[in-house]
Structure 1
């Protein structure tokens, strides 16, 4: 995970809390807990087992990408809506630069408004300076491929 002022390359980096290039159950648990969410440790262990193609007990970036490809990301999917809602704190139907920055800071990184804006701009198809659900879903689909 990037914590030195650089933006994460992708979603994988947000979960790689120890920066070793592999996701352990501990990495995933730490990232989810930083979001303020309750998580079932047995569920995380099952997730790691299901995604761990080489049996080393950790998820590589390639294994993570394969896992993400199996997750439905249609704009009407409950999973996409739930993920969107984690970012959209003011519930206005958009993810602002500030909401994105706050979410990333909550994960333990150090991010400026400019870095958050750069991340957001890459997914902001209509150029309005914020992400709607459709843009967010497109970003998730791109990040998973």
Structure 2
């Protein structure tokens, strides 16, 4: 069985089997009736420190409650986690493809020269020195290159801003 994952508020939850998913479901299902109501969901959200609005709660329920009965059953809960895992897999694939576009020599690193070549092809008017500065701004290990982890952090940080 694959390992479904979901990311919420920069925290990654990993579930290795259905027993673990069942335990999480049971934490949400506080009255043990086999389904999660909107009030149970909001109580959990408050318990983890989320300030979820009524509109956000309604949207969450609409997203997860596939049969539209006003409750989240275990199968819907599992489906939600599997969909999130598939979405994350697709996002990671897209990040790898973007990284590979800049990694011209395919050594797993983006140099200032490679960045300059790509940006020039895209019509950007910048110098190699400008690209060195760009690399330095995200080069957390100080090796003068951007590796995939640094690229991923940069892209994730930028995509989360203003959201």
TM-score normalised by the chain length of structure 2: 0.45
Larger helix percent: 2
TM-score by length of 1: 0.50
Query: Which structure has the greater CA radius of gyration?
Result: 2
